[in-house]
Chains A and B, each alone.
Chain A
């Protein structure tokens, strides 16, 4: 479905990604784990067209997309829940969700997707008139995921959804991610919380200093002694 082939991404003269290659197949949950500053978020921003790779290519169902503007990429069915959630603080919950469906014109579908996300996160339905900035961190994460789902993506990119949340909320968010995947959305999950991420993922990639250093089935990575030492603190 998504294939990243040997991309280099720079911020000015600083190279953030070095020859990164990875693939996400239809129906999978794939996770990308790594420490702070490894280049995980940059990978997502490059996929979404916010950053441009200087080398390499990104293919979507075989078609190159690394030269498309971000709105064209969203249109193809790739939605991102960025790090830090980036809720529009002065817009209501409902308006945040409306904007998730910005490129869609099928009113009926939008309404049924709105029901779907309210079903996933009933708290959002209660708070639909509240300004996004007044929600708690966990609720904002729920809103950010819901907003991305309102675009009815084929591929959902999640950037550290567990960041700064209480363990019980993290549990809930990861359950929802699994449910969304079971309902037919492919998921690419970037996490520092390697343990949690590898538990729900099918496959995983490990990133260090802008390079992919390891990739395997998630269950294998969970057992790998290197990973356990470096990321799981065991």
Chain B
């Protein structure tokens, strides 16, 4: 991997703070962990939603996130040339990325998973890995293998000056946007008709069919919602890191998958908790031990959770059918 997808401490800060293990440093690590954790959570939600409905690990989900970042980059580039103001560009680019990635997610399901419904469980899994490789190489060929710079579109936020060593504008944006997205998702799932139908389909597909719920449509909706969240994560991280590459979806996807399992796959609050826990744990590892171990930590955590608590932090133990 050419470079890690996330940088927990903004450049230039690390050295100064590494000497002292003070409270300030701790808080700084905590918040950078929260920032990356919210991105993990946004992506993990897509894994967990899809798993909840069709018990498939959509391994191409990380690529949807990457496509979101790329779409935003392209749209931002065009709008930048046309001379739009920076803040407006970010909003439009984010919306375009969300819509475009949602369309990708929808198509992905129709092309790669729907024909395999009813096939043995391994088949769609292999199809997912295939789609992941395909989408990466598609972007590699259509765009480039280089890291592309993502324009700085965020306005300075003066109210952050007091805590600017803890949180910059992009961290702030990540926290606010992901929190809003999660609240919106919760409200949608809990109170709307389609949200209830999604939960019903997840709990018992056959009964949902008997009530006239069109399961295919619910599955499509799930992919659309999950992809939109991943795209939002992609745009946020691109503007945070300032660069985009075709390969960023791979590791981020795996980490988010780890987060989803950590929290309890299939559980929506679980994905959020898992994402945040993983992000904070990685941040502390990087800050107190070494940045070299952050990926190792994530996957050690995955192995650990699979051995000792396979249902995750908030997952429910599956009751064997009698």
- Give A residues with C-beta under 8 Å from B: 48, 50, 69-71, 74-75, 79-80, 82, 86, 88-91, 95, 98-100, 102-103, 147, 151
Contacts and interface: CB of A to CB of B under 8 A. Distances in A.
Contacts of B262: none
Contact of A88 (B193, B199, B212): B199
B211 A74 contact: yes
B197 A102 contact: yes
Nearest to A74: B212
B213 interface: yes
Given A50-B206, A82-B207, A71 B196 contact: no
B317 to A, nearest CB: 14
Counting chain A CB atoms within 10 Å of each CB, the highest count among B197, B204, B211, B214 belongs to B211
Interface residues of B, number: 16
Given A91-B200, A91-B203, A102-B197, A80 B213 contact: no
Given A90-B203, A102-B197, A103-B211, 10 more contacts: A74-B211, A80-B210, A82-B206, A86-B204, A88-B199, A90-B199, A91-B203, A95-B196, A98-B196, A102-B212
Contacts of B212: 70-71, 74-75, 102-103, 151
A88 B213 contact: no
B209 interface: yes
A98 B212 CA distance: 12
A99 B209 contact: no
Contacts of A95: 196, 199
Contact of B196 (A48, A50, A99): A99
A106 to B, nearest CB: 14
A33 B214 CA distance: 31
Interface string B262-286: 0000000000000000000000000
Interface in B33-58: none
Nearest to A48: B210
22 contacts: A48-B210, A50-B210, A70-B209, A71-B213, A74-B210, A74-B212, A79-B210, A80-B210, A82-B207, A86-B204, A86-B206, A88-B199, A91-B196, A91-B199, A95-B196, A95-B199, A98-B196, A99-B197, A99-B208, A102-B193, A102-B213, A103-B212
B35 to A, nearest CB: 32
A91 B203 CA distance: 9
Interface string B211-223: 1111000000000
Given A98-B196, A99-B197, A102-B193, A88 B204 contact: yes
A100 B193 CA distance: 11
A69 B212 CA distance: 9
